[in-house]
Structure 1
């Protein structure tokens, strides 16, 4: 387990517009998500950044009273009775690495971090992410992708963050995305999962919270892999994993996986998002 300081820029100056990537409403090369809100900020693009640096928590700014990460990291904390709305802004990162999963193709390496004060064990969260990405129904089923979790952000292609609603909103806002503290998002090199959705899922989802957790990991990482949003193919059909299931199923039934029976399960692309 490693402790880091708060992410840079959460309380810092505005981003340089020259660093923004032109993109559409949920620009697939810019900021994307299930998942950021359809209101303010939807026309803004994401932030370009080196996954090993932009995605790695730094030592500037902060959300806690002292502006820095404390040593009361997520590991060993008891789950809270209610979901914390804000943590310290510092992150605990998962130790060790996973085996390489998948049969062929490029290896995409990922790093896992949990916000301090979120009340979640970083090893448990990393284990869940590992299990989802190693599942034969996940993205490795294409045969063109392999994945591995690594301990060092400097060698990772992207980082998966579990962040409280306030922190996740601020992180997503760095890329011009508004989540209203409710949804998750993805910026280049950063998969940012909202703690409240992770623990509570969404009303009327019609499946256990574990299914929603599998879905949100696959959905947001799907954006990192270049997938865009898709529509429900028809009433009673499994929802595509790239459908914005957080906003509703539109007649489909909840589904967490991009591949069903070894075949990519997809809907029609949703133009402009």
Structure 2
């Protein structure tokens, strides 16, 4: 293909003059021309390879930005999200003061203690908890809310097939739960191609990313207390980390499945924070 960039046709052999001296000059000129063409080909190939390497490096840099948070191995896996997110709803020009800081400094403080094991059976997954500096919330306080959610008998450990335990600091873990400001959460989610407009939370491999504004204010017309929305968003994004996809409202007036994107509206369902309802795992129709 590269040779075609230089010439799309073969050169016809040049007839040699009858004079020996002139013939030698023609041969020398032909050899020189072939050497120059070969050199141009090598330069062109090298240039194409260098450009391809530069594009690959830029792509890798974008993928790795925010992909590791010092410590452990789970956060170094490729980032991905199984299903696309809905377009964020229209937002007020100025978020209310209670939404908290729009932007932190992009660094995180980690919970300082280990937690007990939640769940009675199955494999053990360890997790870290981190809060962005500038979010005006202590990591240990956020960790307590996450731990309480995971330990509830209506949570993901209810089936007896999974155990969860918080580890302190940046110790080795299977995933990390982050509380990040809208600007930072958008940047983190964007490393997997998810564009939240700073409105919603997301999950990418090894990272459960909770948007600070949603944590502080929930969503309009949720129909349940703020504490229930907080429980929902932890369980929803953690569900993605555990391999669950999105689900739809099964029928008007029914509880919303926890894997429904309740942040974008309840679609006739009633707010629900838990994967288990009345002792049974509660699901809705799968979203393609």
TM-score > 0.5 by shorter chain: yes
Q: Give me the whole-angstrom Cα distance separating, in 1, the residues matched to 2:242 and 2:150.
A: 12
Bigger share in helix:
2
Cα separation, partners in 2 of 1:192 and 1:138, compared to 1, 3 Å = same
Whether 2:262 is the aligned partner of 1:245: answer yes
Paired residues, what number?
A: 210
Whether 2:176 is the aligned partner of 1:132: answer no
After TM superposition, give the deviation of residue 177 of structure 1 in Å. Answer: 0.8
Q: Give me the whole-angstrom Cα distance separating, in 1, the residues matched to 2:201 and 2:85.
A: 6
Whether 2:274 is the aligned partner of 1:230: answer no
Question: Root-mean-square deviation (CA), in Å?
Answer: 2.1
Partner of 1:31: 81
Partner of 1:188: 205
1:156 to 153, 170, 173: 173
After TM superposition, give the deviation of residue 30 of structure 1 in Å. Answer: 2.3
* TM-score with structure 2 setting the length: 0.69
Whether the 8 Å contact between 1:113 and 1:159 is mirrored in structure 2 is yes
Whether 2:60 is the aligned partner of 1:16: answer yes
Q: Give me the whole-angstrom Cα distance separating, in 2, the residues matched to 1:81 and 1:210.
A: 15
Q: Give me the whole-angstrom Cα distance separating, in 2, the residues matched to 1:195 and 1:36.
A: 18
Q: Give me the whole-angstrom Cα distance separating, in 1, the residues matched to 2:62 and 2:180.
A: 27
Larger Rg belongs to? 2
Q: Deviations over 1:213-244 (max 9, x none)?
A: 00000000000000000011111111000000
Runs of 4+ in 1 over 2 A off after TM superposition: 17-20, 35-39
Partner of 2:133: 116
Q: Deviations over 1:141-196 (max 9, x none)?
A: 11100000001434210000000000000011111110000000000000110000
Cα separation, partners in 2 of 1:85 and 1:232, compared to 1, 3 Å = same
Whether the 8 Å contact between 1:37 and 1:180 is mirrored in structure 2 is no
Whether the 8 Å contact between 2:129 and 2:143 is mirrored in structure 1 is yes
Query: Gaps (5+ residues) in structure 2?
Result: 1-56, 65-78, 89-96
